[in-house]
Amino acid sequence: MKLISLVFTLILCLPMSRDRRVSVSLHDILQRPSTIVVKVKKNNPFSVQQEEKVKKGLMSGPNFIHPIHHYKVEEILYKGNEANQINIGQDISVRRANFRTHLRRHKMYHLRKMRKSIYTYHYEKEMDITTVNQAIIYITYQEEDKVFEYVVQGAYDSIDKKENILNLLHTIKN
């Protein structure tokens, strides 16, 4: 009986999931038809924590807390094929990549005690968005929520890479 109790306790202590991290190249990001590439300046405050209520009927769980990044659009390098409304000078808020998937998984774990592993796609680069004032970001517009979202985790680059990005865009789109 003690062994069963110990096993049950260990299972409850397991993490919510085990994500599988997949690296994505800049070429792959730019090939997505909905990708928007913009040069931005960080607004103040840059990052704020937003909370989403987790509730289903009488059941509730801890709120889903996620960061929102705030920018001012300085230049549009590529608008994607979407009929989105992004303009120079516009203030935009950008949430994490695959927001709905992460929120759904959070709810599954806290309301139904189900663990779900997912693939998380990351753009690997050496830049840290918190250490710069300007950047080039890769976003998409989520029509159903009327918000911008990073294409993948870490979807930003240094403005020094602008020419390389434009050349790659030219190669891909022609």
Beta-strand relationship, 91-95 and 147-150? parallel
Q: What distance separates the 2 farthest-apart alpha carbons in the chain?
A: 67
Residue 111, judged by CB atoms within 10 A of its CB (0-12, 13-18, 19+), counts as middle
Q: What is the pLDDT of residue 7?
A: 47
Q: Which of 121, 155, 159, 162 is nearest to 138 (CA)?
A: 155
Q: Does residue 11 carry a pLDDT above 60? A: no
Q: What is the pLDDT of residue 83?
A: 62
107 — pLDDT class (breaks 50, 70, 90): confident
Specify whether the CB–CB gap between 97 and 121 falls below 8 A. Answer: yes
The model's pTM = 0.83
CB neighbours (10 Å) of residue 64? 18
Q: Does residue 8 carry a pLDDT above 60? A: no
Q: What is the pLDDT of residue 4?
A: 56
Average pLDDT, the chain: 85
Specify whether the CB–CB gap between 157 and 136 falls below 8 A. Answer: yes
- Spell out the alpha helix ranges (H) of 86-145: 99-112
Give me Rg for the CA atoms of the chain. 19
Q: What tokens does 52 get?
A: 């989403």
Q: What is the pLDDT of residue 3?
A: 56
> What is the average pLDDT across 80-87?
76
Q: What tokens does 87 get?
A: 């303009």
Residue 59, judged by CB atoms within 10 A of its CB (0-12, 13-18, 19+), counts as exposed
Using a pLDDT cut of 70, give the percent of the chain over it: 89
17 — pLDDT class (breaks 50, 70, 90): low
Q: What is the pLDDT of residue 5?
A: 54
Q: What is the pLDDT of residue 101?
A: 84
Q: Give 162's DSSP letter.
A: H
Specify whether the CB–CB gap between 68 and 92 falls below 8 A. Answer: no
| Range scoring the smallest mean pLDDT among 35-44, 87-96, 107-116, 128-137 | 107-116
* pLDDT (tens digit per residue) in 124-148: 888 889 899 999 999 999 888 889 9
